[in-house]
């Protein structure tokens, strides 16, 4: 585990983007695992900047997103498909057919999950999997449970997670209660895991995830078992780390 601490969000975003950019520079056909939410937005802005400056091309890159809400169409303004287009895909030269996001409106959700894992296997191992961290220790939408699914699956979102996501929806909209998410086993197959965490409100769960016992009650703690885990935190999020 390699923990990098930064005294500004800008420096953290730049460092995370440089890791991704350098990976694609070395391997133009890299497979990237992408995340959504507030944490990666600054990183994606840096990647767009690198592309505009001619430092990197995404034309041969393949991407797989961690998750998608069940019940939202890809063009819904709060879908993760829409998020990725707005924050990254529409601003670089990535080929749409090489981008993969679970389909939340699939008639057979279990079949969609199975096929998603098959597409990941066919693409080869994910080179870098970008991850955020939920307040309850979830990664992707793998919520604390007695048992965790290793493969892509449908999950019922914890009330805490729904409340955290409610700020993105208007009062007239109902926050989705289910999502399709990569399983922890799928995540751990990536060659490199890059966990990015920002803010003092995440300090306690960062400490628990990285220094506490490995337990399914804190899904992120399983990242400790990965041989190539890079953690990027700002000073606030990393304030309780030894």
Q: Which of 46, 67, 127, 234 is catalytic?
A: 67
Q: Which of 143, 153, 226, 234 is catalytic?
A: 143
How far does Cα 204 stand from its chain's mean position?
20
Whether residue 136 lies in the annotated active site: yes
CB atoms within 10 A of CB 10: 11
Whether residue 67 lies in the annotated active site: yes
Q: Which of 100, 136, 156, 165 is catalytic?
A: 136
Cα dihedral 212, 203, 132, 149 in deg (nearest 10): 30
CA-to-CA distance for 49 and 180, rounded, in angstroms? Answer: 30
Whether residue 90 lies in the annotated active site: no
CB atoms within 10 A of CB 170: 8
Report residue 128: phi and psi, to 5°: -135, 130
Residues 51 and 42 sit within 8 Å (Cβ to Cβ): no
Token pair of 187 as six digits: 């995540």
Whether residue 117 lies in the annotated active site: no
Q: Which of 14, 65, 138, 226 is catalytic?
A: 138
Catalytic site positions:
67, 136, 138, 143
């Amino acid at each position: 585990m390699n923990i990098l601490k930064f005294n500004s969000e800008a420096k953290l975003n730049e460092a995370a983007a440089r890791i991704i950019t350098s990976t694609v520079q070395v391997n133009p056909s890299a497979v990237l695992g992408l995340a959504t939410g507030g944490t990666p937005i600054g990183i994606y802005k840096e990647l767009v900047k690198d592309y505009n400056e001619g430092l990197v091309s995404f034309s041969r890159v393949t991407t797989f997103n961690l998750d998608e809400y069940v019940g939202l169409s890809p063009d819904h303004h709060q879908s993760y498909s829409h998020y990725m287009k707005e924050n990254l895909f529409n601003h670089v030269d990535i080929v749409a057919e090489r981008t993969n996001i679970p389909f939340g409106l699939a008639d057979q959700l279990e079949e969609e999950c199975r096929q998603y894992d098959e597409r990941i296997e066919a693409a080869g191992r994910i080179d870098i999997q970008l991850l955020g961290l939920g307040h309850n220790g979830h990664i992707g939408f793998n919520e604390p449970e007695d048992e965790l699914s290793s493969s892509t699956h449908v999950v019922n979102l914890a009330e805490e997670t729904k409340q955290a996501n409610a700020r993105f929806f208007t009062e007239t909209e109902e926050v989705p209660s289910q999502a399709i998410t990569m399983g922890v086993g799928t995540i751990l197959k990536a060659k490199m895991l890059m966990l990015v965490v920002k803010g003092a409100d995440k300090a306690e769960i960062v400490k628990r995830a990285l220094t506490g016992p490995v337990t399914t009650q804190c899904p992120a703690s399983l990242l400790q078992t990965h041989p190539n885990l890079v953690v990027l935190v700002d000073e606030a999020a990393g304030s309780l780390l030894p």
